[in-house]
Amino acid sequence: MHKLVVHDPNLKRCKDLVDATRSGLKRAYTSSIGEIRKHPISSTLTGVSLCLSSLVWSKCVNVNRIQHRGDVRSISDLAKSVLNMLLIPEFNPNSILQILSFYLTLKRLESVSGFDATIKMITIDALVGLLFSNFVVKRLNLADYTFNRFDFDKFSKSLVSLSCFNSPEEPILAYGVIRTKNKYFPPLLVLSDYLFTFQTSSLINSAIGIIYGLIALSTYNFLFNS
């Protein structure tokens, strides 16, 4: 007796779709592991930032429990200040651009400087931002609280500054359309932030972040390259 075989085209399409999905996930996994091994600092910091921000975006964690607005008087306050550096408090289209820019900046810095130097630069940059925001800018008693908070925006801007001025003559394709040198990109970034919002606070916040990066790079060069 011959066995009757039914060729169902829908079943075949489903099988092909499952196989293609499995193959795509496998390639994505292999690519992700390779990227993490090649750029561990960039991948780790971006991953932590994305996970922390996702907890706030999904309302699993109240943002007010993480953000710190007073003086740093305890380990808890210091921990919150560090978390603020990696937290994007609101989810919107700009958030995706921020996290992507953050990763690309770290990746470029890590590729040029290497693992050890990048760790030192980022550590110095974070210390400069935290110290100046808590003990210098805050003492100016500025009306806008965001000026004296070392948040994700200032941290990412300071890393852009550090990365660009670390290799100032290297070419860069700013925003994917403007070909220029690294040293011209930070001022261009400050100007574009102002033109995007037409708010003086955006201009000042961006400029503060760029200055932090310059101070961090100068400190690094003094400590390790002098």
Q: Identify residue 120 by its one-letter amino acid code.
A: K
Residues in the chain: 226
Grade residue 21 by pLDDT with cuts at 50, 70 and 90.
confident
Q: What is the pLDDT of residue 154?
A: 92
Grade residue 26 by pLDDT with cuts at 50, 70 and 90.
low
pLDDT at 136 over 90: no
Q: What is the pLDDT of residue 213?
A: 95
Grade residue 138 by pLDDT with cuts at 50, 70 and 90.
low
C-alpha dihedral sign at 108, 112, 113, 115? positive
Q: What is the pLDDT of residue 141?
A: 60
Strand blocks (E) in the chain? 171-174, 178-181
Do 152 and 119 meet the contact criterion of CB atoms below 8 Å apart? Answer: no
What is the C-alpha to C-alpha distance for residues 214 and 164, in angstroms, rounded to an integer?
10
Q: What is the pLDDT of residue 217?
A: 96
Q: Which SS3 state, helix, strand or coil, does residue 181 take?
A: strand
C-alpha dihedral sign at 24, 26, 29, 33? negative
Sole residue written with tokens 């974070």: 126
What is the mean predicted confidence (pLDDT) over 1-23?
A: 64
Return the domain boundaries, the chain: 8-36, 92-224
DSSP 2: P
Do 151 and 134 meet the contact criterion of CB atoms below 8 Å apart? Answer: no
95-130 pLDDT tens trace: 888 899 999 999 999 999 999 999 999 999 999 998
CA angle (29 as vertex; 21, 102 as ends), nearest 5: 120
Q: What is the pLDDT of residue 103?
A: 93
| Single pTM value for the model | 0.81
CA nearest neighbour of 223 among 95, 124, 135: 124
Distance of CA 63 to CAs 26, 84, 102, 104, 225, Å? 35, 10, 21, 26, 40
Please provide the average confidence, as pLDDT, over all residues in the chain: 82
